[in-house]
């Protein structure tokens, strides 16, 4: 049994209180998570999670073992991170960014980091996953969307990016003289699952409601997924890279509701020695936000 992997399943289900949300957080489907947790329980000889009609809740044994499981996961991730550093050399900078950041922001940060490191490796993941990796030491720093839960990590200042609304080309709002967010009523809202970063997700939905729009959220995992949903005529989405959609006849990008839909990014890191590198990444974000805002 892959103890490390199955402990991650246990911690995710315990913290989310729901198998579906835990699977989304782990970027997996639900069946392997449920099966892996059962296998862990069988191996340990105790029930950790009680399945209920509302989701999942900790048993007494699960509550007692959860802190130890978190420590084991953290220690294992640190061990792997240090091993990779020894194998690849300490000069390689490992960082990550949320897909929401967009290609322009990621490229700007990568260019600036190239000036202060002899090598770099970048990963794209959800905010929840990136915070876990930075906390565990497998990543040096990460660009996440705010607000978010960062624990003991050091956080840089929030940088605001204005986003465009991606709408079907045939929708009336695409040709309206004065388009408004409320005109999107009836369309699904394409956005990453709530489990990717619950605080930022909830804040965005609240802002849309304050603007007169209360959409049904359609979870999407990629730009291609968003494009397909919007082009089909039944959804809208957000993008920080409107130029990527310019050549697509089936969709349009509109600069409406920009305060309500703004993207807030910040750099998070664990080691104080990385403060100067984090400042470089933040400066790159500031520069691109002003150029595109």
57-114 residue pLDDT tens:
999 999 999 999 988 887 777 677 666 666 655 568 899 999 999 999 999 999 999 9
Alpha-carbon gap, residue 86 to 88, rounded angstroms: 6
Residues 69-94: b if buried by 16+ CB within 10 A, e if exposed: beebbeebbeeebeeebeeeeeeebb
Convert the pLDDT of each residue in 157-213 to its tens digit: 999 999 999 999 999 999 999 999 999 999 999 999 999 999 999 999 999 999 999
Given the DSSP bridges, would you call strands 92-97 and 141-145 parallel, antiparallel or unpaired? parallel
pLDDT band at 284 (very low <50, low <70, confident <90, very high): very high
If DSSP codes are grouped into helix, strand and coil, which group holds residue 207? helix
Q: What is the pLDDT of residue 88?
A: 58
Residue 230 has pLDDT above 90, yes or no: yes
Residue 127, pLDDT above cutoff 60: yes
Strands 263-269 and 141-145: antiparallel
| pLDDT average, residue stretch 122-126 | 93
pTM over 0.85: no
Residue 96, strand partner residues: 123, 142
pLDDT digits (tens, 9 = 90+) for 139-149: 999 999 999 99
With cut-offs at 50, 70 and 90, classify the pLDDT of residue 283: very high
CA angle at 148 for the pair 271 and 101, rounded to the nearest 5°: 85
Is the predicted pLDDT of residue 4 greater than 90, yes or no? no
- Contact by Cβ (8 Å): 16, 195: yes
Does 293 have pLDDT greater than 80? Answer: no
pLDDT value of residue 3 = 86
Q: Contact at 8 Å (CB) between 230 and 190? A: yes
pLDDT over 70 for what percent of the chain?
95
Q: Please, is 172 exposed, middle or buried when counting C-beta atoms within 10 Å of its C-beta (0-12, 13-18, 19+)?
A: exposed
How far apart are the C-alpha atoms of 175 and 256, rounded to whole Å?
Answer: 13
Per-residue pLDDT band at 54 (split at 50, 70, 90): confident
Give the H/E segment covering residue 121: strand 119-124
* Secondary element (H or E) of residue 239: strand 235-239
- Residue 265 contacts residue 105 (beta carbons within 8 Å): yes
Task: Give the separation between CA 45 and CA 38, rounded to whole angstroms.
Answer: 10
Q: What is the pLDDT at residue 28? A: 84
| Token representation of residue 29 | 């489907």
């Amino acid at each position: 049994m892959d103890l490390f992997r199955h402990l991650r399943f246990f911690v995710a289900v315990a913290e989310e209180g729901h198998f579906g949300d835990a699977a989304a957080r782990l970027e997996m489907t639900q069946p392997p998570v449920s099966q892996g947790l059962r296998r862990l329980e069988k191996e340990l000889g105790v029930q950790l999670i009680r399945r209920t009609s509302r989701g999942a809740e900790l048993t007494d044994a699960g509550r007692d073992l959860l802190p130890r499981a978190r420590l084991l996961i953290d220690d294992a991730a640190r061990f792997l991170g240090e091993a990779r550093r020894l194998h690849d050399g300490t000069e390689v900078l490992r960082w990550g960014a949320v897909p929401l950041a967009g290609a322009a922001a990621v490229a700007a940060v990568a260019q600036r980091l190239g000036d202060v490191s002899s090598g770099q490796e970048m990963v794209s993941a959800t905010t929840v996953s990136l915070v876990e990796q930075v906390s565990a030491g497998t990543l040096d720093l990460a660009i996440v969307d705010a607000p978010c839960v960062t624990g003991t990590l050091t956080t840089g200042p929030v940088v605001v990016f204005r986003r465009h609304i991606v709408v079907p080309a045939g929708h009336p709002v695409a040709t309206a003289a004065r388009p408004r967010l409320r005109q999107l009523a009836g369309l699904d809202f394409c956005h990453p699952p709530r489990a990717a970063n619950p605080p930022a997700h909830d804040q965005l939905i609240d802002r849309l409601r304050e603007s007169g729009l209360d959409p049904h959220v359609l979870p999407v995992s990629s730009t291609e997924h968003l494009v397909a949903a919007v082009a089909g005529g039944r959804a809208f989405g957000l993008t920080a890279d409107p130029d990527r959609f310019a050549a697509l006849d089936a969709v349009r990008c509109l600069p409406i509701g920009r305060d309500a839909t703004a993207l807030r990014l910040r750099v998070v890191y664990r080691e104080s020695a990385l403060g100067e590198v984090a400042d470089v990444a933040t400066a790159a974000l500031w520069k691109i936000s002003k150029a595109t805002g």
